[in-house]
Structure 1
């Protein structure tokens, strides 16, 4: 069965990443190293259907890192991550930014956005209604 995120439920995290590598003709990414980078054990024998929500979210973040892309898009990346997971994600995004990557994050998590964003755009009804610089609180 295929999960709602396009991953295969009866495959391990490593098997899923390796399949994504094949589908994207990606011969440069090291799936094991990427899994370790996001806090997952590449040797974990659990199938995706046995993963917790937080583990699934980390696997999706790992999938986004395949291919060393210059532009990354994350939609609600803090979903299902505990406090340690959110801290890890913030550090990861800041490292990627320092590497010159452009990162777009769609999120309702105001604290997380304030932690990682250079610019925050507030949308309402499909239009930008406000732009805030880093370290500004996002108003509800």
Structure 2
């Protein structure tokens, strides 16, 4: 994994990122557009983490903090790069960010039908709260 580089997204990454999500993420959201991502990066420049290998975008996670709770969204790894520890590395980076800002709990949005994603989150210590349909982990 030494060739994997994780960094914060910049405004110049937006077009590449949106294309990546179309290919790698299971579905899209109403905020998956240039304006939505611009707002995210402008408001919290450290929230959107990108994983790159050989300068190619291989994974993403949004590690948001609203001052109260940490939230993880858009964990996605390109299909050609899955099962190589990228999601784990991204979650580790997100959790480091959360600890640095004083977060004490993480809520993760995970698609109900994505069993592989549920396994990934569970191996990192997140448990499912059925009444909210999310995965949570105390920090």
Q: TM-score band, normalised by the shorter chain?
A: 0.3 to 0.5
Specify the structure having the higher radius of gyration (Cα).
Answer: 1
Q: Give the number of the structure whose residues are more often strand, by fraction.
A: 2
Normalised by the length of structure 1, the TM-score is 0.41
Q: Give the number of the structure whose residues are more often helix, by fraction.
A: 1
Larger RCO (CA within 8 A; separation ≥ 6): 2
